[in-house]
Amino acid sequence: MSSPWSAAMRIGPNASRLLIERAHEEFVRGNDHDARVGDIRGVVRESWMRSREGLVGVDALPPLALSTEELERLRTEHPLAATIEMIRTLLIPGDAADSGVIVAVGDAAGRLLWVEGDRDLRTLTGDMGFVPGADWSERAVGTAAPGTALALDRSVQIRGAEHFNRLVQPWSCTAAPVHDPETRRLLGVIDVTGGDPAASAQAQLLVDATARAVEGELLLARMKQRAESSPRRVPRAPDVATRVDATLRVLGRDRALLEVLADGRTTVTEISTRHAELLLCLVTHREGVSAEHLAELVYGDATSTTTLRAEIVRLRKILGSVAPSLVPESRPYRLPQALETDAHQVLSLIDRGAHRVALAAYRGEVLPDSDAPGVEEFRQSVREILREAIMTEAGLDVLLAFAETAAGAEDAEVLRLCLSLLPARSPKRAGLVARIERLDTAI
């Protein structure tokens, strides 16, 4: 089946990209009265104003708003989950990997839940953080079709340089909100991103029609469910439990930070290196671990169980006052609730193809001064996964950024790969050659 986007391949933007880029630069500088700013479409100019007033960075990467567990939970529970196959069928018929566009579905807060479509484009857009779990609301990334459509509660097209964030300006997109068919409550957003065809008139018709089809499908499913339900059946009220989100920050830190969000309030507690080692080893062994194995992971000695138990008692006392739901259980030792770490967030970003965002989130090695065997193994694993992903999948700009970090600065193989990918006349080549020669001489 041919792609619905093929007929629009010759349709370009309505205004000169260069003029829009210059208008954007003047607007960012505060020159609102520049004639070129006045020529920008009203919907875009007003979104730029909201973005600037919200202090959105023009080069900022979108934040990862959902952990892996939260993303999977929302993908299961979200009302649009039942319509994903319909969205795929309507917007990406045929081979999705070669469709020429990316289709994303987000929730009402602008957090992307599904990002599918062209394989090569997903690799490129992943570098700007267009991945599942990322926040693409206007308050996070500024003017972009998903967030602006949610802000205005109507379909929107944003073309190239009209994006507030410079990282997004190579792309064009069309998005439409989706509502509850009965209450009209905003449920989420459907977005198509790609080249110029993704913001064509045909694209808007397709995305709008898909949003309406989804709302119709939701209504039909609801009516069918009511018809099948017994009038005498009284649904049991769901159990309501207080949800606690916790993150352990261990990248580039010897004393970790434990951030706990409960009842809308975040508390931050500094954790000693030993307690951070214990928590990290429990996180990486979520199924549970014996006292002997945990002692070996932390102390390098399986017989140090007495010392381990004493330290666990101290850790339980600390957690009991700041995060009771994280107090470790025994036999085997395990955490009763999932605990996210910033290192696992980096791994999740890599898995989603967001290499640039992953690199920005990698603030240093895992507990760099720890010599606990379990920590050393995890530290090396994170380092190697990040390096391998950037060297094999990321674009040149991300690779060059990696070469400037502590993890890549002394890596001759990384530097040589950068050199091989740079254009022959690039001014960056001389500096790379000098760094490589220095490393070779040191050897």
Q: Is residue 399 one of the residues assigned to a domain?
A: no
Q: Is residue 404 one of the residues assigned to a domain?
A: no
Give the C-alpha separation, 390 to 359, whole Å.
Answer: 9
Residues 216 and 78 in one domain: yes
Q: Is residue 183 one of the residues assigned to a domain?
A: yes
β pairing state of 244-249 and 186-194: unpaired
Residues 286 and 199 in one domain: no
pLDDT at 97: 66
Please state, in angstroms and as integers, the Cα–Cα distance from residue 331 to each residue in 285, 289, 300, 328, following that order: 13, 8, 20, 10
Residues 145 and 254 in one domain: no
Give the C-alpha separation, 3 to 256, whole Å.
Answer: 50
pLDDT in tens, the chain (443 residues): 445 544 333 333 444 778 898 999 999 999 988 888 988 999 999 999 999 999 999 998 899 999 888 999 999 999 999 999 999 988 986 776 677 889 999 999 999 999 999 888 998 899 899 999 999 999 999 999 999 999 999 999 999 999 999 999 999 999 999 999 888 899 999 999 999 989 998 899 899 999 998 998 898 888 877 776 644 443 333 333 344 578 999 999 989 999 887 776 778 899 999 999 999 999 999 899 999 999 999 999 999 999 999 999 999 999 998 889 899 999 899 999 889 899 998 898 888 888 887 888 888 999 999 999 999 999 999 999 999 999 988 888 889 989 988 888 889 999 999 999 999 889 999 999 999 999 888 76
Q: 251 - beta bridge partners? A: 366
Q: Is residue 189 one of the residues assigned to a domain?
A: yes
Residues 83 and 149 in one domain: yes
pLDDT at 241: 39
pLDDT at 373: 96
Separation of first and last alpha carbons in the chain: 57
pLDDT at 260: 87
Both tokens of 409, joined, read 């600065």
Name the nearest CA neighbour of 294 among 306, 276, 282, 283. 282
The DSSP call for residue 62 is P
Task: Report the side by side order of strands in the sheet with 340-341.
Answer: 265-271, 256-262, 244-249, 340-341
Domain boundary among 346, 368, 386: 386
pLDDT at 254: 85
Both tokens of 266, joined, read 């975040």
User: What is the residue range of 77's domain?
Assistant: 6-227
Report residue 255 CA to chain centroid gap: 26
Phi, psi of 60, deg, nearest 5 = -80, 145
> For 429, what's the count of Cα atoms within 13 Å in the CB-facing half-sphere?
9
Residues 255 and 176 in one domain: no
pLDDT at 87: 93
Give the C-alpha separation, 196 to 255, whole Å.
Answer: 49
Domain boundary among 227, 261, 292: 227
| Whole-prediction pTM | 0.65
Q: Is residue 110 one of the residues assigned to a domain?
A: yes
Cβ neighbours for 20, distance < 8 A, ≥ 6 positions apart: 40, 159, 160, 161, 162
pLDDT at 242: 43
Radius of gyration of the chain (CA): 25
Please state, in angstroms and as integers, the Cα–Cα distance from residue 156 to each residue in 38, 159, 198, 200, following that order: 19, 10, 11, 11
Residue type, 148: T
Domains in the chain: how many in total? 2
Q: Do residues 275 and 285 lie in contact, with contact meaning Cβ atoms separated by under 8 Å?
A: no
Give the C-alpha separation, 379 to 373, whole Å.
Answer: 10
Both tokens of 369, joined, read 């001064």
Residue with tokens 């045929």, as numbered in its chain: 94
Residues 150 and 250 in one domain: no
Q: Is residue 192 one of the residues assigned to a domain?
A: yes
Both tokens of 383, joined, read 């380092």
The dihedral over CA atoms of 309, 313, 315, 319, expressed in degrees to the nearest 10, equals: 140
Q: Is residue 403 one of the residues assigned to a domain?
A: no
Task: Give the containing element (helix H, strand E) for 23.
Answer: helix 17-28
Residues 182 and 313 in one domain: no
Residues 222 and 290 in one domain: no
Cβ neighbours for 195, distance < 8 A, ≥ 6 positions apart: 100, 171, 172
Q: Is residue 282 one of the residues assigned to a domain?
A: yes
Residues 14 and 125 in one domain: yes
